[in-house]
Structure 1
Amino acid sequence: MAAVTELSFLLFALINNIHAQERIFVKKEGDSYTFNLPNNTDSCLISRSVGEEKLVLWNTSDLWSNSSSVPEHLKQRLVSSVKTSSYTILDLTHSDSGPYREECWTEGNVTHDNNFTITVCTSIGGTAIDERLGGTVDLPCEGAADNLDVQWLKQDSRYEQETWSRVFGDKTTSVMDNVRGRYQVVTNTSALRVSNVTGTDFTDYRCLVMHQQQCVSSHPVGLELQVEVIYHSVGETAVLPCTITDSTDEQPPRWSNLFSSDLGQLNQTVPSVDQNYSLVFSSLMLNHSGLYYCFTSMRYQRYQLFVCPKFGPPAVELFSEGEEVTLRCTDRREDMWHVWFIKSNRTEGRIITVESDQSMSRVSWYDNNGSLVISNISAGDAGEYWCVVYDPYDQCVSTERTVLVYMEPFGIYSTSFKKLEKV
């Protein structure tokens, strides 16, 4: 009978190891970690692997006895709660890092078996990066520097406690089926390159800088869905698509704005949600300007809606390769503030702010006089540029639009410039 029980345990452990993805808990030095074990078990064993050696930390049935296996340095940092069957290690150090295993028995049968890794690091302040669906983005590993021994982790949202999964089994092979081929580590920077970004990529990541299997520092990076800018004038119709429907959600996508989840509180014309879950404004008013969210239980989509007074016809300027072009925001005043937007072939027809477009390193924006200067201009800079002026209450006061058209030598307009339609 004992042999059968042991064989059952081995098969159980083998199946568990095959199907379970490695779970990683990243902790800062001095933090604590709590083992939440099931109630109504005869005993539980906590062990940690050190190389090929299995170090038994404690058995809950003789935790505080004189013959207890708990190391003295650990016993001083161990706190238990009989009511909840939880055990907490206080003041974590690098030496607490490693693979752990929980095993519990009831009447001789294994009723709980859990494998995971605790990694203790020195945490460094994180950063957040915006990207759009379908784009490509490099998540920086700021602490890598000359040390290219890094591990990339991705937050696993299936668990309530902050849990991480390893993105790569090594530096090149992804262990996540849904991202295989889309995630790569950039050789000279150790950045994580995410290609063809999908909704499931928008979460938190961590770059662990390692030295001889010990975590030197942890650098959190949040990948967030880029705010899509929607630009209209008073009286027009606007449609904000919601493309994050997920068949696993029990409820359909919901809409909210920055200040309220009740869109009916908006004054005057109230937007509606159509059969495709898009938010529809039939006749825009100035007060409809704002940040709108379409969200499900795990994903969200953001739109920044700008509603301005009626647009006037855009000005047109011709330019040649290598010139310097200055655009001026003449409506800007002392008590106002302004933002420059771009819509062009280079931005794939999307409206983005000048400061968020990293490809425009040759652009200078002068807030004191409202001018925008593009140096060493090229055909790719052709497009529509908007200066939007806001009052102190963030309401759009006016819009000036200028269409830059590239002129090839001999006065022929560039055939690569596509006429931009009215927004």
Structure 2
Amino acid sequence: MERRKPNTKKTTRKSSYKQRDSRWKQSSNRGSSRPSRGRGRGRSGGGGGRRGYTFKSIDIVSFIDKVKKESQTHKVFDIVNAFSDFAFDGRMKNNLKRLGFVTPTPIQDAAMVHIMEGEDVIGLANTGTGKTGAFLLPLISKVLQDQTQRVLIIAPTRELVIQIDDEFKQFAKGTKLHSATIIGGVGSQKQIHNLKRRPHFIIGTPGRLKDLFDRKALKLRFINNIVLDEVDRMLDMGFLPIVKGLINETRDNRQSLFFSATMPSDIKKLAGEFLKNPIVVDRQAGRTAKNVTQEVITVDDATAKFHVLKKILNDAEKTLIFSETKRSVDKLTKQLMNMGVKADCIHGNKSQNRRQKSLTNFKQNKIEVLVATDVAARGLDIKGVDTVVNYTVPQSYDDYVHRIGRTGRANAKGRAITLVTK
């Protein structure tokens, strides 16, 4: 059952935008928009260093066994609606037809009905299952019906923000709705200029959103719809105080949507504070694909590891390699390029323009190999990745699942290889 029993008590939201959460104030010390490193695994919002982090021994075989077990228990969900059944604007329907979208995915089918009714929703779904469309389509429809509506979408990484904005432009083409992306790694003046145009959709990362709010360039009191995407990862990255502060500045009568791959206690607590009688839509069909072959290769040392990697690349067409730190990502990319491999990398120390250019080149097959940190590659949907290599062992099961989930998408076969040094 997706619908919870109605609460007969009168529900009131948190205090108005004039009252700040105490932890929001604490996170503002010294003018920093970066979350405290005291929580989580010490990641930065930009993309993935591990400075000061103590690496622990990981049993990679246990990860693989758990993945295999999960992949055998995939759920199959019935689709009730077609896109044509939803009361979308004619321009939206034309866009969906142009994109070849006829039948919604399970999370879209189940969540969009409730969102279009104005209800608060917690959507649980894996990456690559259409969850972005699940919240964008009904919100675009809502704004087209009432253009006083304003939407704030918060996502954990710059790349995911850009990916969401790309989908928004596809779905809203020809409607004259416009958006603003608010991310770090690029200059803020253009973003401030875009905010002055009062965009219908503001899509951003927590740190830069807070920065522009503190500078009074971002007016959150006009926001009456808020979406948190990849909530679990945002909390894991230590963004909870900033996210709570941002939500507290929006209107009390907003519609709130949380989307996540998992539902840990922190998300339940956050939902309890900010959502009103939320509908929980769970469309997790197992976190991993059956069609991904998992392998572990043990090597003697770093030299042997790189030698094995070269052999792997000879058999692969489009490879995503994960390494733990920004420095190791740079070093490995340079080694690959020196041996003639068309490679590039993404991590938090790269400018946003460089990161986006690298991603575009990889998507367009101008390079064969992309090396990345976990955070920089979070939530990316890149077609045609046939091989994922864990050049360093991931530090958690969630990271492992996320990494190997970049291959085997859209029912294609994939290969995930983890290199372990003795």
Instruction: Tell me the TM-score range normalised by the shorter chain.
Output: under 0.3
| Higher-strand-fraction structure | 1
| Higher-helix-fraction structure | 2
TM-score calculated relative to the size of structure 1: 0.21
Q: Highest Rg: 1 or 2?
A: 1
TM-score calculated relative to the size of structure 2: 0.21
